[in-house]
Amino acid sequence: MKINIPEVHLPRVVIVGCGFGGLELAKSLFDAPVQVVLIDKNNYHTFQPLLYQVSTSGLEADSIVYPIRKIFKGHKNFHFRWGEVLRINAEQKNIETSIGICNYDYLVVATGTTTNFFGIDGLAEKSMPMKSVVEALNLRSLILQNFEKALLVQSTEERDALMTFVVVGGGPTGVELTGALCELKKHVLPNDYPELDFRKMRVILIESGDRLLSMMNDDNRARSVRYLHELGAEVWLNVRVTKYDGHLITTASGKTITAANLIWAAGVKGQMIEGLNPEIVTPTKRYMVDEANRIKGYENVFAIGDMAYMVTDKYLKGHPQVAPVAIQQGHNLAKNIRHLLKGEQTKAFDYFDKGSMATIGRNRAVVEVGKISFGGFFGWATWLLVHLMSIVGFRNRVVTLFNWLWNYVSYDRNIRLIIRPFHRSGEDAKA
């Protein structure tokens, strides 16, 4: 059965995924002589850099998501379909989805990444990932549920485990999440749970390498460690987690930590679609592409963003899997599709690195733009401005700004809500 999409005398561009890359590509094709069909398993675009604030009660989920149909309202040659793509049939130039078959003239895979647990024993079942809105809400519920449990248990050891939070992964997500948890410990949770001794709450950041924020320079890496220590976090470098059973974390050195909360932010892998040659897939599940983002071996199938593995003289291991790369690749591919429609030569993608940044609690951030790096309050204000302007939707920007202002003035986070209690598969739900 074919998906019900109007047949028009225009080339059809099918985009799979409405992340940063897919969204930019679709918007850049607004006035192109093509029919754009966007397919996503969610009916909204997610501003992923702020997921950690949803999980730590700083923002509501609906302030970082935006309905796809509303973004493209009024564009007659654009069509959105809510479904999951199951297989690519390149020879037939169609895709199989959960809602039917869709033909294409040009296909773009922009599915993004999911958490990579690297096959470590117990992680997939017992740790908490944070790559989607649902996972962020689950984490928010788990954090609050464990403090509620800590009030009830009799064992000091069990209470300490419920109040121990271990974040694995020293990239921006791990650093920002660790800072946010420390802010909860310092300003918020003691007011909600005065019966608990918050001197016993531990926030530990574990990184398998010898540095945090490896993409930044030495000054900013040192700043990040100093800021985390000032907030009360423990930073463990050169430590690799090898096992987790939901209670005990085991490391490669044999060191163990008792913790009921393990948040995994240490790796990602591409969300693959079956059907293409497995020889052009990297170990981290990315498609090998040429400099025009065309998947190698296929004429009209492309990959952008986190799914694209493009080797250049400057990026011998592919581009970093960050939003600016996806946005710029989406924009460049839109230009190349126009070139292809005219029979012209495509233009090679050239990434312009605008810099990196990470926030680490109140009035603390690290920012790097070219050879310029800075931190502190100015870095924090820069981080706020850049992220606020990048959120999709005026209403979302206003709501986010209001929440940030309120949190800053009141030292509070009002969204400490267990709307949907989190239960792992196999656990009995509490009545």
Instruction: Say if 98 falls within a structural domain.
Output: yes
Q: Kindly state whether residues 99 and 190 are assigned to the same domain.
A: no
Q: Taking a C-beta distance cutoff of 8 angstroms, is the pair 376, 359 a contact?
A: no
Instruction: Say if 425 falls within a structural domain.
Output: no
Indicate the pLDDT class of residue 427, thresholds 50, 70 and 90.
Answer: low
Residue 194 has pLDDT above 60, yes or no: yes
Q: Kindly state whether residues 294 and 211 are assigned to the same domain.
A: no
**CB atoms closer than 10 angstroms to residue 336:** 20
Least confident of 166-170, 287-291, 301-305, 411-415: 411-415
Instruction: Say if 2 falls within a structural domain.
Output: no
Indicate the pLDDT class of residue 429, thresholds 50, 70 and 90.
Answer: very low
Where are the alpha helices (H) located in 59-169, listed in sequence order? 68-71, 123-126, 133-150, 156-162
Output the pLDDT for position 413.
Answer: 87
pLDDT digits 0-9 by tens, 108-153:
999 999 999 999 999 999 999 999 999 999 999 999 999 999 999 9
Q: Kindly state whether residues 257 and 402 are assigned to the same domain.
A: yes
Q: Kindly state whether residues 100 and 201 are assigned to the same domain.
A: no
Q: Kindly state whether residues 110 and 136 are assigned to the same domain.
A: no
Q: 170 is in which domain, residue-wise?
A: 123-266+356-410
Query: What is the amino acid identity at position 341?
Result: L
Instruction: Say if 183 falls within a structural domain.
Output: yes
Residue 421 has pLDDT above 90, yes or no: yes
- Catalytic, 176? Answer yes
Percent of the chain exceeding pLDDT 70 equals 98
Output the pLDDT for position 414.
Answer: 84
Considering 311, 341, 371, which residue would you say is the last residue of a domain? 341
Domain of residue 106, CATH code: 3.50.50.60
Residue 346 has pLDDT above 70, yes or no: yes
Catalytic residue among 24, 60, 135, 176: 176
Mean predicted confidence (pLDDT) in 1-27:
96
- The count of structural domains within the chain is 2
Q: Kindly state whether residues 279 and 369 are assigned to the same domain.
A: no
Instruction: Say if 71 falls within a structural domain.
Output: no
Output the pLDDT for position 60.
Answer: 95
**Tokens matching residue 390:** 């990048």
Reported pTM: 0.94
- 358 φ, ψ (degrees, to nearest 5): -155, 140
Q: Kindly state whether residues 274 and 175 are assigned to the same domain.
A: no
Secondary structure of residue 54 in the 3-state scheme: helix
pLDDT digits 0-9 by tens, 66-108:
999 999 998 989 999 999 999 999 999 999 999 999 999 999 9
Q: Kindly state whether residues 309 and 363 are assigned to the same domain.
A: no
Instruction: Say if 428 falls within a structural domain.
Output: no
Percent of the chain exceeding pLDDT 90 equals 95
Domain of residue 181, CATH code: 3.50.50.100
Considering 309, 341, 373, which residue would you say is the last residue of a domain? 341
Instruction: Say if 420 falls within a structural domain.
Output: no
Mean pLDDT (the chain) is: 95
Where are the alpha helices (H) located in 250-375, listed in sequence order? 323-341
**Tokens matching residue 3:** 């998906």
pLDDT digits 0-9 by tens, 25-62:
999 999 999 999 999 999 999 999 999 999 999 999 99
Considering 341, 367, 382, which residue would you say is the last residue of a domain? 341
| Residue 291 vs residue 425, higher pLDDT | 291
Q: Kindly state whether residues 103 and 225 are assigned to the same domain.
A: no
pLDDT digits 0-9 by tens, 347-394:
999 999 999 999 999 999 999 998 899 999 999 999 999 999 999 999
Output the pLDDT for position 431.
Answer: 34
CA distance 58 to 399: 11
Cα–Cα separations (whole angstroms), residue 65 to 54, 59, 384, 400: 11, 11, 17, 11
Q: Kindly state whether residues 336 and 198 are assigned to the same domain.
A: no
Query: What is the amino acid identity at position 92?
Result: Q
Output the pLDDT for position 146.
Answer: 97
Nearest to 59 by CA among 121, 127, 137: 137
Instruction: Say if 136 falls within a structural domain.
Output: yes
Residue 428 has pLDDT above 90, yes or no: no
Q: Kindly state whether residues 161 and 206 are assigned to the same domain.
A: yes
**Tokens matching residue 4:** 């019900």
Q: Kindly state whether residues 313 and 252 are assigned to the same domain.
A: no
